Amino acid sequence: MTNNRPLAHWLLAVSALIVILVIFGGWVRLTRSGLSITEWNVVTGVVPPLSDQAWESEFAKYRQTPEYRIVNYGMGLDQFKFIYYMEFGHRFLGRVAGLLFVVPLFYFLFRHRLPRAHIPSFLGIGLLFALQGLVGWLMVKSGLNDRPQVSHLRLTLHLSCALALLAACLWRAFDYLSPAAIQQTPRGVRRLCAGLLAALCLQIAAGGLVAGLKAGHISDTFPKMFGAWIPTGLWAMQPPLVNLIDNAATVHFQHRFFAFAVLALALWSWWVIRRQAPHLQTAALWVLGLVVVQIGLGVATVLLHVQLGLASSHQAVAVALFCAALFLCHRASGDAI
C-alpha cells in the first residue's frame, strides 16, 4: 500500500461532501422541492434569482408544471422560494463537490503528485461526476411532463450513481491511508464481505424504489402489511417480474423483509470474521450495529407515517452503513496499489 495523506484527505473531503449531497437530496425529495427548478443551466444556474422580476419569471415557469397544477395549486411566492432554494442548494452543492474534485486534481497532476497508474481511475471519477449531474437532470425532467412525480427508476439510478461515486473516492482514499503491511484475510472471508456489500447495495437500491414510488406510505403497520403476513396484490402486474420494480406493495414488502436477510448475513459475517479474521472484527461489528439501527429506523419510519426526520435519518444511516461495509471490504481485500 502507498501512504499518501494529502491525496487521502482530499478524497475524504470530496467523499464527505458527497455524503451530505445524498442526505440533502433525500430531504429535497421528502419536501417535494426537486421539481421547483424547471431548467438545467450549467453555468447561469449557479446564481439564484436576484430581483422580483426574476423570481416572478421562475415562478411562472413552475406554474406550468403538473406539480403546481395538481399538488401545489394556489401556492404563494414565499412558499415557492422555500422549495426553490432547497433544490438550488442541492444543485449548488453538486457544483461545489465537482470543483472540490477537479481543481485539486489539476493541481496534483501539475505537481506530479498522482501515481501514474492511478490517473485513469481519477479520470473515471471525473466522468462519474458528469454522469451524476446528467442523470439528476433526466430524473427531474421525468417529473415535468405528465405527472408530478419523477421516475422511480431514474431516482434509483441517481442514488446508485451517487453511491458508486462515493465508493470510488473512498476506496482510493482508503488505499492511501492503509499501512504498508496488512494482515492476510482468508479468501472465504473476502467473498463473504463482498457478498454483504452487494446485499446492502441491493437493499439501498430497493429503498430508492420505495422512495420513488412513495411506497412507504401504503402501510403503517409492522410486521404485517394490510393485516397479513403476505398481502394480496404482490403479483398483480403482468409480466410478473415488473412487480419487483413497479408494484408499490411488492417493492415495500421486499424492502422491509430483505432487511432481515441482510441482518442475518451481517451477523454471520461477524461470527465468521471473529474466528477467522480477528483483525476485521471491529469493522464487522460496526456494520452489524448499523444494520440493527437501520432496521429500527425503518420500522419507526413505517409506524410513524414516514415522518420527515425519521425518513431522513433512515437514509443517512444507510449511507453510513454503505461506507462501513466498503471499509470492511477494503480491509479484507488487502490489495496492493
| Percent of the chain that is helix, strand, coil (3-state, to 5) | 75, 0, 25
**Are residues 140 and 195 both part of a single domain?**
no
pLDDT of residue 3: 64
Q: Is residue 206 domain-shared with residue 188, that is, in the same domain?
A: yes
What pLDDT is stored for residue 335 in this prediction? Answer: 46
How high is the pLDDT of residue 44?
73
The dihedral formed by the CA atoms of 328, 331, 336 and 337, expressed in degrees to the nearest 10? 50
Within this chain, do residues 239 and 337 fall inside the same structural domain, yes or no?
Answer: yes
Q: Within this chain, do residues 173 and 201 fall inside the same structural domain, yes or no?
A: no
Q: What is the pTM of this model?
A: 0.93
Among 181, 211, 227, which residue terminates a domain? Answer: 181
165 and 306 both lie in a single domain: no
Contacts 24+ apart (CB under 8 A), 56-64: 58/84, 62/35, 62/36, 62/38, 64/38
How many other β-carbons are positioned within 10 Å of the β-carbon of residue 201?
17
Q: Could you say which residues of the chain have pLDDT below 70?
A: 1-3, 179-182, 335-337
**Same domain? 157 vs 189:** no
231/262 same-domain check: yes
pLDDT on residue 101? 97
Which amino acid, residue 10?
A: W
End-to-end CA distance of the chain, in Å? 6
pLDDT at 182: 63
Question: Which three cell numbers, joined as nine digits, stand for 36?
Answer: 421547483
| Contact call for residues 189 and 332 (beta carbons, < 8 A) | yes
Domain co-membership, 173 together with 220: no
Domain that holds residue 270: 183-337
Domain boundary (137, 152, 181) is at 181
Q: Which of 181, 198, 220 finishes a domain?
A: 181
* Domain shared by 60 and 159, yes or no: yes
Number of domains in the chain: 2
Backbone angles phi, psi at 225, to 5 degrees: -115, 130
Buried b (16+ CB within 10 A) or exposed e, 278-297: eebeebbbbbbebbeebbeb
Cβ burial of 152 (10 Å; 0-12, 13-18, 19+) is buried
Question: Who's near 8: CB < 8 A, 6+ residues apart?
Answer: 173, 174, 176, 177
Question: Are 153 and 238 in a shared domain?
Answer: no
Instruction: Give residue 83's pLDDT.
Output: 96
**Residues 150 and 297 grouped into a single domain:** no
Cell digits for 234? 404482490
Separation CA 226–CA 209 (nearest Å): 20
Pick from 129, 152, 154, 128: which is nearest to 139 by CA? 154
101 shares its domain with 217: no
Q: Are 128 and 101 in contact (CB under 8 A)?
A: no
DSSP 8-state assignment for residue 92: H
- 3-class DSSP state for residue 265? helix
